[in-house]
Amino acid sequence: MRRSPLQKPDPKLDLVLERVVDVPRELVWEAWTQPEHVKAWFTPRPWRTIECEIDLRPGGIFRTVMQGPNDSAEVNNVACYLEILPNERLVWTDTLLPGWRPADGARFGMTVVIALESLGDQTRYTATALHRDETSRRRHEDMGFLNGWGTALEQLVEHIKTRTIN
């Protein structure tokens, strides 16, 4: 499969979280692509992911339902996968529904790129959220993108280290 290029992030429109984590990229990939694993780490505590649906193919669904503390509000997120390069890159957008159908009222109007680079037993993990405009980017940042996505990544690493994934 030919790899599509990713443009340099635009600081006015994009948010980037890059870290080196102490787990192999194949396990990070599994944690991102298997619903039972996504449910264990995806939402920063005390929130939790109560549902996850994955059809891992371009045009397939990536859906999560997050629930707040004490079984409070639920947030349903539906996205469409755009690109899947096993163990390297996962790309989805909330501007499309599964099957490439346009989405009404996308929460952020963003495309997410998860890039994984093997560094021996470690992984360079880069999450990039590409936004349609500066307002959406700012709103996502103000909601705590760096802290929330950073916490979720820490939970992903904890999940991998405390459970056997394979």
In b/e form, how buried is each residue of 30-57, taking b as 16+ CB within 10 angstroms?
ebbbebebbbbbbbbeebbbeebebeee
Q: What is the pLDDT of residues 96-108, one digit of tens each?
A: 999 999 988 777 7
89 and 114 in contact (C-beta within 8 Å)? yes
Q: Is residue 51 domain-resident?
A: yes
For the stretch 8-27, pLDDT in tens is 899 999 999 999 999 999 99
* The pLDDT value given to residue 71: 80
pLDDT of residue 163: 79
- In this structure, is residue 32 part of a structural domain? yes
- b/e map of 10-29 (b: 16 or more CB within 10 Å)? eeebbbebeeebebbbebbb
Q: What is the pLDDT of residue 129?
A: 97
Domain-embedded: residue 166: no
Q: Which two tokens stand for residue 80?
A: 């469409």
Does residue 4 sit within a domain? no
Number of structural domains, the chain? 1
The domain in which residue 145 lies consists of: 14-161
The chain-wide mean pLDDT, for the chain, equals 92
Taking only the tens place, the pLDDT of each residue in 26-65 is: 999 999 999 999 999 999 999 999 999 999 999 999 999 9
- pLDDT at residue 165 in the model: 59
Q: What is the pLDDT of residue 80?
A: 97
